[in-house]
């Protein structure tokens, strides 16, 4: 079943829209149509089985058929990770998500080659969160690590 991510506040209703990026992927890449079943994750342990109600060029509306909450693993795992070069950082975050890490702390180590400027901080965190969401959808995790 195809999996999509919706932020926790957006999926509290019985009907809601997928994010624009996921809607485009569902319609143009996966070729899903009205009536197809999908699985929606919110990164907080909720797995929603939903059915596509309506779709247009840039919008997919789904109706929730069932909700399952999976509790977080105990004990919670944390990972302190130095700032790495982009390819190594992406790989490390993917593997951490697959292993079930719940918290990731990025450390600006003294000998790190990579440095983040203040102005790039927000955009880099957005990119990392997108990567974590994609990893979560691919590996079957229902909890998104907090960075």
* Whole-number Å distance between alpha carbons of 89 and 83: 7
* Whole-number Å distance between alpha carbons of 57 and 24: 8
**pLDDT higher than 80, residue 82:** yes
Kindly state whether residues 28 and 61 are assigned to the same domain. Answer: yes
Q: pLDDT, tens digit, for every residue of 122-134?
A: 888 899 999 999 9
Tell me the pTM. 0.84
The length of the chain in residues reads 147
Residue 74 is encoded by which pair of tokens? 């105990």
Domain count of the chain? 2
* Whole-number Å distance between alpha carbons of 144 and 44: 7
**pLDDT higher than 80, residue 20:** yes
Q: pLDDT, tens digit, for every residue of 1-19?
A: 899 999 887 778 889 989 8
Kindly state whether residues 42 and 89 are assigned to the same domain. Answer: no
Structural domain range at position 103: 78-139
Kindly state whether residues 89 and 32 are assigned to the same domain. Answer: no
In a domain, 9, yes or no: yes
Q: Across residues 53-80, what is the average pLDDT?
A: 90
- Among 17, 35, 69, give the residue marking a domain's end: 69
pLDDT at 72: 85
In a domain, 147, yes or no: no
Dihedral sign computed on CA atoms, order 47, 139, 52, 9? positive
Q: Across residues 71-79, what is the average pLDDT?
A: 87
Kindly state whether residues 9 and 63 are assigned to the same domain. Answer: yes
In a domain, 30, yes or no: yes
Q: What is the largest CA-CA distance in the chain?
A: 54
pLDDT at 133: 93
Residue matched to tokens 């593997």: 95
Q: CATH number, domain at 13?
A: 2.40.240.20
In a domain, 46, yes or no: yes
pLDDT at 51: 95
Q: pLDDT, tens digit, for every residue of 23-59?
A: 999 999 999 999 999 999 999 999 999 999 998 888 8
Residue 79 is encoded by which pair of tokens? 């990972």
Backbone angles phi, psi at 32, to 5 degrees: -75, 150
Q: CATH number, domain at 90?
A: 3.40.1280.10
In a domain, 144, yes or no: no
* Whole-number Å distance between alpha carbons of 102 and 96: 9
Kindly state whether residues 84 and 63 are assigned to the same domain. Answer: no
- Among 51, 69, 87, give the residue marking a domain's end: 69
């Amino acid at each position: 079943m195809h999996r999509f991510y919706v932020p926790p506040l957006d999926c509290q209703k019985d009907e809601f829209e997928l994010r624009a990026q996921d809607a485009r992927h569902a319609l143009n890449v996966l070729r899903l149509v009205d009536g197809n079943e999908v699985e929606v994750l919110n990164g907080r342990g909720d797995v929603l089985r939903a059915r596509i109600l309506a779709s247009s060029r840039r919008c997919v509306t789904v109706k929730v058929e069932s909700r399952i909450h999976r509790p977080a693993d105990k004990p919670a795992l944390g990972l302190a990770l130095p700032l790495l070069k982009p390819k190594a950082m992406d790989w490390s975050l993917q593997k951490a998500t697959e292993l079930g890490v719940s918290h990731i702390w990025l450390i600006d180590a003294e000998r790190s080659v990579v440095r983040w400027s203040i102005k790039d901080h927000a955009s880099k965190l957005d990119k990392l969160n997108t990567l974590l969401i994609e990893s979560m959808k691919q590996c079957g995790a229902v909890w998104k690590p907090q960075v």
